[in-house]
């Protein structure tokens, strides 16, 4: 029983701890709403940060046409 309690406490601590080490997305453009894209579809928007690095940002279209950020991929210059 003590192993279960210790595991539960560990999981609770990890779940509530701030993710200071989490990757923060860069160069996220301001997005509006879409009128013709179906809800649930994915949209790609390319952007460039202040240092000239290029990114592809992936968004999911919500029911109201707004975009929800999903992922970001940095493009290499190769």
Q: What is the pLDDT of residues 55-71, one digit of tens each?
A: 888 999 999 998 888 98
**Considering the domain boundaries, does residue 7 fall inside one?**
no
Sheet holding 54-61, edge to edge: 42-48, 54-61, 67-75
- Dist CA 67 CA 53 (whole Å): 23
User: What is the reported pTM?
Assistant: 0.61
Q: What percent of the chain has pLDDT over 70?
A: 62
Structural domains counted in the chain: 1
Residue 41: per-residue pLDDT: 92
Instruction: Tell whether 29 is covered by a domain.
Output: no
In sequence order, which residues have a C-beta less than 8 Å from that of residue 55 and are 6 or more positions away? 25, 26, 27, 46, 47, 48, 49, 72, 73, 74, 75
- Answer yes or no: is 13 within a domain: no
List, for residues 15-48, the tens digit of each pLDDT value: 555 554 455 666 676 777 888 889 999 989 888 8
């Amino acid at each position: 029983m003590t192993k279960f309690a210790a595991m539960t406490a560990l999981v609770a601590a990890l779940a509530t701890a701030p993710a200071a080490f989490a990757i923060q997305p860069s160069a996220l453009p301001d997005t509006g709403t879409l009128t013709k894209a179906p809800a649930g579809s994915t949209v790609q928007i390319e952007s460039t940060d202040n240092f000239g690095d290029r990114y592809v940002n992936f968004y999911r279209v919500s029911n109201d046409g707004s975009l929800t950020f999903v992922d970001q991929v940095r493009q290499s210059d190769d």
